[in-house]
Structure 1
Amino acid sequence: MKKFWICTLCILFLCSLLPVSAAGPETNAKAVLLMEKTTGEVLYEEHAHDQLEPASVTKVMTMLLIMEALDQGQITKETMVPVSAAAAGMGGSQVYMKEGESFSVHDMLKAIAVASGNDASVAMAEYLAGSEDAFVEKMNAKAKELGMNDTIFMNCTGLPAEGHITSAYDIALMSRELILHHPDIRTYTTIWMDTLRDGTFQLSNTNKLIRFYDGATGLKTGSTDSALYCVSATAEKEGMELIAVVLGSPTSQDRFETAKALLSYGFAGFSLVTAAPSEPLSPIPVTLGTQPTVQPVLTKETKLLLPKEDAGKLTTTLSLQDTIEAPVAKGQEIGTLTVLVDGKAKETIPIAAQEEVPRLSLWQVYTALLSLLFCSQ
């Protein structure tokens, strides 16, 4: 028996010397997910594809379609949007718009992003698509385009409706699309307090992280009796922006604490690193070209999401042609940059010609030879 306990203690001691992998954040929500914006990589997830009610986090898609309409010139921030009887009568979270009133798109976005206004959401939906139902069709089409395979939208507000479901992963996808391609949404999602109706109506952000989490950039909260408390929370530090999705938390405070734990886990453990050559790329000689050299350029900027302990282990190897025979097409591949982490290849980036270099004609070759001949005399 004595030998048994000695062996057991030895095993426990040896196990204590083994490296322990970083544990994920503690959560008690129905589903959570942490995603990095630039790469779209998932850093942590629990029940990420469970189909759940999103409540007003639905409005991430509503805001996305509004921002797309702005970018496409369909509307401007000064466009005045009328409020219908249907919009005014939505109930739930609202800014108490009245039938017949009109608000600018700028104020509508404030009402949606800050106060989660159902009335503003429906008014914008009707203005952009003719009806809320037609707008919801656009929402579902966009969801399909983004690969949100767990999602079916039944309205633009997130009010309870049979069959209105999504997942933590899908919410992260649409949140990423919004902040990656429409960064101006931060103008609204970072507002803590503001007003409507020339200062007579107060707005206070439902997302308390805006004030109480360093680096918070948004994005949208939601809660109903059936969905419980939800949030898609975004924050940026040291050039890296993260998206923390929390669905089905038991209390409002719990959803924010869970979101903070997810975001802090990501910022503490990961870095976004840009891959680049160790030295500037030098021009490559071109034979029989109308110009003597061509400038090589990377075909894309590559950012890698790495555990912080690996961030300093990134190296690159460059492979370029010594010379190129004309003609050279713009964008023609003339080399590669291999990105390695701790000596292992992670990605290969093509290197291309920055400009076109036509081939010399026979007459140009002849005149060039004559010029060389006379210069040598």
Structure 2
Amino acid sequence: MKRLISFFILFAILTASFLTPALGSPAVDSTVAAELSLNCVSAILMESETGRVLYEQNADQPLLPASITKIMTLLLVMKAIEDGKLRLDDMLTCSDRAASMGGSQIYLEEGEQMTVEELIKCVVISSANDAALMLAEAVAGSEEVFVDMMNRCARELGMKNTNFENTNGLDDTVTNHVTSARDVAIMSRELIKYDKILEYSKIWMDTTRNGTFGLTNTNRLVRFYKGATGLKTGSTSKAKFCVSATAMRDGMHLICVIMAADTRDIRNAAATTLLDWGFANYALYVFEEADTGELKVTGGVEDSVSLKARRFCCVVPKGSESKVERFVEVRETTSAPVKEGEVVGSIKFNIGNETIGTTDIVTATRVDKIGFWQVFTRIFSYFLIA
């Protein structure tokens, strides 16, 4: 009988150890879901630097995305600028097709000219469909080729539940234009790496055409939510109301995606609730790259090499940032030749008895192997000095 009791006690302990979430792991259980009570079909909360998912609700369900499609459109435009294929001050001319776009727009006319930067501003702030197509045509020559690029980029980013059919998200005639909350978060994470996007996505009101045409941000969170940085809204009768909302507080940048909410206010309330929950429960621990002394080198032109620890960051439970301990392990010596960036040790980061991550300690410079004549010169110099 005692053995049987002991067995059940051991079984309970082992089961608890497997079911207990790791420190700082996403709390996505039914209790949290009930607490948040998000009134939407799907949602996700992701920390932008690490890509850590903190909460998800039907995050992989393919849904119509409406204008948050333009996150991918803007991403490809920014990549084209980065690759030197476009410049911000390039002047583009509106095509007949771009001028015929419906939905949200800035009413571009065929033949009208506008710079790449001004068009980006209009897409980011006012979700202009005509400006989005104008940019797409400049990058790829046609919308059809650009859409192929969008789908290829989605696959490269690991967006598994996405298929694009146009650049803007209009869904009157599409047959399979879908994405998921997780995929939206993935492409949002890529887009906010570009400072120019965040420069405009934080703006509430602006103008274009030399101040004659007003622009108002479709994302009201940038006006009313503390720390809001963007990013993109979308709505159609089929897609309902969607948003990829980004916000930063205390150095932590969160991406919140809400899809298929019934109204704009419900969408915004859901995003606010999820962002508030994220900031209340999590923080970003950051260890910046730092010098970590020197390492003795044998058989090299130098007797030692400088070391540095690489940057490390990790999402941790709120309030535990000050409890992180660092444990350094470095080899005592190394032999030449030594390459720059060679891993010679590590720093382990712990909260209590749990390791939350590690970072490498690497050599800051190279050290060549010493040659015969260099050894001879050193010995000769030693005797001269002596």
Q: TM-score, normalised by structure 2?
A: 0.88
Corresponding residue number in structure 1 for 2:311 = 301
Corresponding residue number in structure 2 for 1:34 = 45
Corresponding residue number in structure 2 for 1:259 = 271
Do the aligned residues in 1 keep the contact of 2:314 with 2:357 (CA within 8 Å)? Answer: no
Q: 2:274 and 2:83 mapped to 1: Cα distance? A: 34
Corresponding residue number in structure 2 for 1:166 = 179
Do the aligned residues in 1 keep the contact of 2:283 with 2:319 (CA within 8 Å)? Answer: no
Amino acid at match of 2:264: S
Q: 1:281 and 1:170 mapped to 2: Cα distance? A: 39
Q: 2:344 and 2:337 mapped to 1: Cα distance? A: 13
Gaps of 5+ in 2: 1-26
**For residues 183-332 of structure 1, what are the structure 2 equivalents within 5 Å?**
183-275=195-287, 280-298=291-309, 300-332=310-342
Corresponding residue number in structure 2 for 1:87 = 98
Of stretches 138-147 and 279-288 in structure 1, the one that deviates more from structure 2 is 279-288
Residues 41-84 of structure 1 show CA distances to partners (whole Å, capped at 9, x for unaligned) of 00111000001000001010111111111111111111111111
Corresponding residue number in structure 2 for 1:359 = 369
Q: 1:239 and 1:276 mapped to 2: Cα distance? A: 13
| Offset, 1:187 | 1.7
* 1:117 matches 2:128: yes
Residues 278-319 of structure 1 show CA distances to partners (whole Å, capped at 9, x for unaligned) of x95111222232112101122x31101111143222111111
Aligned sequence identity (%): 41
| Offset, 1:232 | 0.3
Amino acid at match of 1:36: E
What is the SS of the residue equivalent to 2:63?
A: coil
| Offset, 1:351 | 1.6
* 1:349 matches 2:362: no
Q: 1:73 and 1:276 mapped to 2: Cα distance? A: 31
Corresponding residue number in structure 1 for 2:137 = 126
Of stretches 260-269 and 310-319 in structure 1, the one that deviates more from structure 2 is 310-319
Amino acid at match of 2:50: T
What is the SS of the residue equivalent to 1:119?
A: helix
For 2:190, which of 172, 177, 181 is the aligned residue? 177
Amino acid at match of 2:269: E
What is the SS of the residue equivalent to 1:363?
A: helix
CA RMSD of aligned residues (A): 1.8
Do the aligned residues in 2 keep the contact of 1:216 with 1:236 (CA within 8 Å)? Answer: yes
What is the SS of the residue equivalent to 2:344?
A: strand
| Offset, 1:276 | 6.0
Corresponding residue number in structure 2 for 1:16 = none
Q: TM-score, normalised by structure 1?
A: 0.90
Do the aligned residues in 2 keep the contact of 1:284 with 1:323 (CA within 8 Å)? Answer: yes
* 1:155 matches 2:166: yes
Q: Number of aligned residue pairs: give it.
A: 354
Gaps of 5+ in 1: 1-19
Of stretches 82-91 and 50-59 in structure 1, the one that deviates more from structure 2 is 82-91
Q: 2:163 and 2:55 mapped to 1: Cα distance? A: 24
Do the aligned residues in 2 keep the contact of 1:340 with 1:346 (CA within 8 Å)? Answer: yes
Q: 1:312 and 1:303 mapped to 2: Cα distance? A: 14
Residues 82-122 of structure 1 show CA distances to partners (whole Å, capped at 9, x for unaligned) of 11111111111111111111111111112111111111111
Do the aligned residues in 1 keep the contact of 2:341 with 2:365 (CA within 8 Å)? Answer: yes
Corresponding residue number in structure 1 for 2:24 = none
Residues 163-215 of structure 1 show CA distances to partners (whole Å, capped at 9, x for unaligned) of 000000000000000112x1221121112111122111111111001100111
Q: 2:340 and 2:284 mapped to 1: Cα distance? A: 30
Q: 1:158 and 1:292 mapped to 2: Cα distance? A: 62
